[in-house]
Structure 1
């Protein structure tokens, strides 16, 4: 794209952000947890385009490196809303009456390429070329009870080898897992396609399978908030979901269905780049932001069957109390469930 056109587009994005950033004096301040991933774009877009302002919400983003600390921050009141995978920590906090899962976000769907199973160059050269070869291998996770832990065990279950035969290596953050995979300190990992494609393109990592072959309809990420908000100010959650859902529509149109105009698409990329792949100039970050985006559920709809399957897995591994239930975990009064 000619540089003059890009400057025009970036100026448009900056103007949009400036306009949206002028919050009403009476807007309710809300802190939203973010991971530096394209899948977190709906909140970024909703803030950038003023959708939160229209709901009288003044958003401040708080960055995290992994899912579990975000759940703890919401329980403590340091953050108000988050979007991330279902974790043991989140379920345990819900059992203690601290947090509630209020909607769905990223989901594996048949029409869109989903999460990839990756191996290091060293593992690939040693013969790990299919997921069946992961028995006895080192699989990277952020923390015990994370989505990566769940995906590793679903692979083991489907391939017919013992879960315990796969060595799980907790590394606390996504960047740490990436570094360990690149260097061969771990053998395997699974992640969303935009990150996976970037790693495979480096030549240091190889793709050997897809999570969709092991987990049907996987509700990869969810939206959650504090039980306090759902009890004392449910209207705030409803307004948040309304703005977030408009961000989802723009995200899907831009990155999945590719139906937005070139100018609008570029402006949205510029908004996302404020928080994602910030270590690269936008010209280098744009392909990675766009690559392999997975669909996010319209209007934050939630796949209950997937949540129930995940909950039962957490129980089977004794990662959450045996008494954990959907009733204590969920408050889906404002979203469709299926």
Structure 2
């Protein structure tokens, strides 16, 4: 009798389940492009591709990488990519209102007990006394774009603390990193695999956690074109099936430690192909491990968080007042929570 370890069993079980769901419904090797950022938080897609879960679902997946959320939304709307995982932005909502895209599931989420996005202060600001978010009154907060998820989080922090900040759009995550390291901005929030190494270098300081202000925050969502969501159901279900198998492996290994340190090493090696690939494994591993956050099983979607985000964008006039949650989300694919 051949004994399988847990990961082998997951792979074989996942392959069988996914093939049963999707293979009869779509042509094998259906080519799709999936948008991603080079973040640990996008590991569901990386694992699904490398462990064959997308292939088992009948999909031939090409990953296409971006540097911010809004360009990814534009790429979905234009048909340049088919599916993506990223944060909700004003641009995404506006495209949804125009009938171009739909959110179909949830991905990264802030969960109590697991380090999530960190709030950072530049060294200059920290040395000047900014040691907590409450001390950011009058300070410059970095965002990629006006009406981005960073803007949402920063403004929610300001509202909670009763303070006022200016928001400086810098277009790309790399530019924001450069600005906070050089003191051109005073603060920012970012996922832990970026926040912790920056803080460890002494260039910035962690002064708070996003989950203290936004518990259960649906940090990223799974989305696609409206055509895929409404007219290509078999293909969309196949994508979600493969993606969800990748998420299960990731959570089991990195959050629940089901396969111990050996399992973590194997998973990190897989992720390292996409995240910090320019660094030696030994140097990349701590940063990748630091980026571990829960990704929703089965692409479950926190609708209360999505609704709150939508209302914030509307209140700030970053999107049209007439846009509705039905414009933004197709709830027919995954379980929702409120």
Aligned counterparts of 1:26 and 1:114: Cα–Cα separation in 2: 37
**Residue in 2 aligned with 1:16?**
none
Q: Which residue of 2 aligns with 1:83?
A: 85
After superposition, residues 1-338 of structure 1 pair within 5 angstroms as 26-161=28-163, 165-338=164-337
Quick one: distance in 2 between partners of 1:81 and 1:148?
Answer: 22
**RMSD value over aligned CA atoms?**
1.3
Matched residue, 1:19: none
For 1:151 and 1:74, locate their aligned partners in 2 and report how far apart those are by CA, in whole Å: 24
Aligned length: 312
What secondary structure does 2:215 align onto?
coil
Query: Contact (CA 8 Å) 2:105, 2:299: kept in 1 or not?
Result: yes
Contact 2:181 2:204 in 1 (8 A): yes
Residue 145 of structure 1: how far off its partner (Å): 0.9
Instruction: Find the residue that maps to 2:336 and give its secondary structure.
Output: coil
Secondary structure, counterpart of 1:259 in structure 2: coil
Give 1:45 deviation, angstroms.
0.4
Deviation at 1:41, TM superposition (A): 0.6
Tell me what 2:22 maps to: none
Secondary structure class of the residue paired with 1:241 = helix
Task: Write the distance in 2 (CA, Å) between the matches of 1:124 and 1:26.
Answer: 55
TM-superposed CA distance for 1:25, in Å, is: 9.1
Give SS of 1:224's match: strand
Alpha-carbon offset, residue 26 of structure 1:
3.8
Q: Verify the 8 A CA contact 2:118 2:210 in the aligned structure 1.
A: yes
Deviation at 1:286, TM superposition (A): 1.0
Deviation at 1:167, TM superposition (A): 1.2
With the length of structure 2 as denominator, give the TM-score of the two structures.
Answer: 0.90
1:333: how far off?
1.1
1:8-31 Cα offsets, whole Å, 9 max, x none, are: xxxxxxxxxxxxxxxx99410010
- Structure 1 spans left out of the alignment, 5+ residues: 1-23
| Structure 1 CA distance for aligned equivalents of residues 177 and 310 of structure 2 | 27
Task: Compute the displacement of 1:292 (Å).
Answer: 4.2
* Shift of residue 291, structure 1, vs aligned partner: 1.1
Q: Secondary structure at the match of 1:293?
A: coil
Deviation at 1:84? Answer: 0.5
Which 5+ residue runs of structure 2 have no aligned equivalent?
Answer: 1-25
Distance in 2 (CA, whole Å) between partners of 1:57 and 1:282 is 29
How far did residue 315 of structure 1 move? 0.3
CA distance in 2, matches of 1:44, 1:166: 36
Distance 2:62 2:287 in 1: 25
Following superposition, the deviation at residue 113 of structure 1 comes to 1.7
Distance 1:265 1:200 in 2: 23
Secondary structure at the aligned position of 1:185 is classed as: coil
User: Equivalents in 1 of 2:202, 2:82: separation in Å?
Assistant: 40
SS in 2 for 1:220: coil
1:251 shift after superposition: 1.0
Superposition deviation, residue 269 in structure 1? 1.5
d(CA) in 1 for partners of 2:171, 2:93: 18
Task: Quote how far apart the aligned CAs of 1:263 are.
Answer: 4.0
| Separation of aligned partners in 1, 2:203 and 2:249 | 33
Taking the aligned partners of 2:236 and 2:113, their CA distance within structure 1 comes to: 30
**Cα offsets for 1:10-68 (capped at 9, x unmatched):** xxxxxxxxxxxxxx994100100010100001100000000001000000010100000
